[in-house]
Copies of this chain bind each other. A is one copy, B any other.
Amino acid sequence: MSLPISTPLPLLSGAPHERRDAARNREALLAAARELVEREGACAVTMEAVAAQAGVGKGTVFRRFESRAGLMIALLDHSESEWQAQVLGGPPPLGPGAPALDRLLAFGRSRIEATLGQRELIAAAGGRVRTSGAFGFVLMHVRLLLAEIGTEGDLPLLASSLVAPLDVTVLEDQVLGQGMSVDRVYDAWADLTRRVVRR
């Protein structure tokens, strides 16, 4: 029952010990998927195609990413991290340093654009986005900004209500389906937000 002192603590490393070949395959698969997505669009990203392109078996894809939705989320991870970095440490008004309301409005604009920009992947990820860390971050961010503004009420749910209209399905319907302009959608969201935070 002795603790081997040489074992490095997991610290914050995401994967709690992934074998080297496994890690290599993960990278190969991500690269393959990225290539497929840019060459033929997200809907061409079939699990078998990714496996073939990466030169591994289909089972491996599933072991690494659990499901198609999981793979999509992994693909989104990069851009999502970048976006989070902008929010957390980028220039105002999206990043810190601006008044909270300005940050909130900038957040909305940025989210609309980011979501529409990646709509294929996000849609392909389906409902699973909700359980992804990225989504939690968004919710938390809005909630904190609302608190900073001094908004009263059930902040978690209020935040959720502000985020809900930014869902891919909603935006796709409005912009692609109904032909509304992004500006108009954003203006309406900003209006909504101002009404919500107005004291």
Q: Please classify how large the interface on chain A is, using the bins under 10, 10 to 19, 20 to 34, 35 or more.
A: 20 to 34
The answer, among B158, B160, B165, B189, for a CB contact under 8 Å with A174, is B160
**A18 contacts B by Cβ under 8 Å:** no
Q: Which of A150-199 contact B (CB under 8 A)?
A: 153-154, 157-158, 160-161, 164-165, 167, 169-170, 173-174, 180, 184-185, 187-189, 191-192, 195-196, 198
Is A63 close to B, CB under 8 A? no
A154: chain B residues within 8 A (beta carbon): 184, 187-188, 191
| Cβ contacts under 8 Å, A153 to chain B | 188, 191
Q: Does A130 contact B (CB under 8 A)?
A: yes
* Interface class of chain A by DSSP: helix
Cβ-based interface call for A127 (8 A): yes
CB-CB under 8 A from A189, the residues of chain B are 157, 161
Beyond A154-B188, A184-B154, A198-B195, whether A160 also contacts B169 by CB under 8 A is no
Of the A-B pairs whose beta carbons lie under 8 Å apart in the complex, a sample of 20, sorted by A's number, is A130-B173, A153-B191, A154-B184, A154-B187, A154-B191, A157-B174, A157-B180, A157-B185, A158-B191, A158-B192, A161-B164, A161-B189, A161-B192, A164-B164, A167-B167, A192-B196, A195-B195, A195-B196, A195-B198, A198-B198
